[in-house]
Amino acid sequence: MDKTICIFGDSVVHASFMKVGWVDLFRQYLEKKYPNDSIEIYNLGISGNTSEDILKRFEAEILARDTTSIIIAVGVNDSGYIQDPSNPIVRKEQFALNLKKLVDTAFKYTQDITFIGLVLGDDSILQPFPGSSSGKAYRKDLVETYDEIIKKVAEKNSCKYIHLLDKLDFEDFQDGLHPNDNGHRKMFEVIKKHFRCLTSTPLVV
């Protein structure tokens, strides 16, 4: 079995601040589960990326690899805002359109598309986020709204959706925005359940 899995997302996917993020744990899990198979996993997360950023590079990244499966984990940065929460970085309507464009492009290459739900910690320390040079802020209610958009787009287009929003606790984040070691471990434990068998359609649980 040959599998090439491209995982698109933001800093939570990239996890450059971690020794081992959920993508690394996922890779290790699949390599151990299928030791005789060829499974390539590409971490295509870029810190700060929104759905619009991913759209700009999406097809080129897919074409650069013999992609068989696509995982998309994006939305928290889209929901972020500067000063005015009614004016998010990417408005809800545009976010839904962007996701649909990603799905339409992905379907040209594979039917195996999975959306990873969003995660966020204590938003009282994210208004604004101390690590942002622009004063970007995040709110839990906005993240919940964008997560619901992801779920609806996934269901409408027969894609898989993995819910994570209530799976992590505040102590599972290192700064309210980025999961810590335990947070990434919890994410992985949920995500792997949907990929128990790569020889057929991943499970939805």
Residue 183 above 80 pLDDT? yes
> Which pair of structure tokens corresponds to residue 184?
């990434």
CA–CA distance, 119 with 13 (Å, rounded to integer): 12
> Cβ(19)–Cβ(55) under 8 Å?
no
pLDDT given for residue 159 in this prediction: 97
What are the structural domains, with CATH classification, of the chain? 2-195 (3.40.50.1110)
Q: Name the pTM for this structure.
A: 0.95
Residue 2 above 70 pLDDT? yes
pLDDT given for residue 201 in this prediction: 42
* Average pLDDT of the residues of the chain: 94
Residue 124 above 60 pLDDT? yes
Cβ burial 3-37 (10 Å sphere, 16+ → b, else e): bbbbbbbbbbbbbeebeebbbbbbbeebeeeeeee
Summarised one tens digit per residue, pLDDT across range 80-99 is 999 999 999 999 999 999 99
pLDDT given for residue 178 in this prediction: 97
CA angle 23/14/120 to nearest 5° reads 90
Closest-CA residue to 181 (of 8, 32, 43, 17) = 17
Q: How many CB atoms lie within 10 A of CB 173?
A: 20
pLDDT given for residue 199 in this prediction: 57
Q: What percent of the chain clears pLDDT 70, i.e. is strictly above it?
A: 96
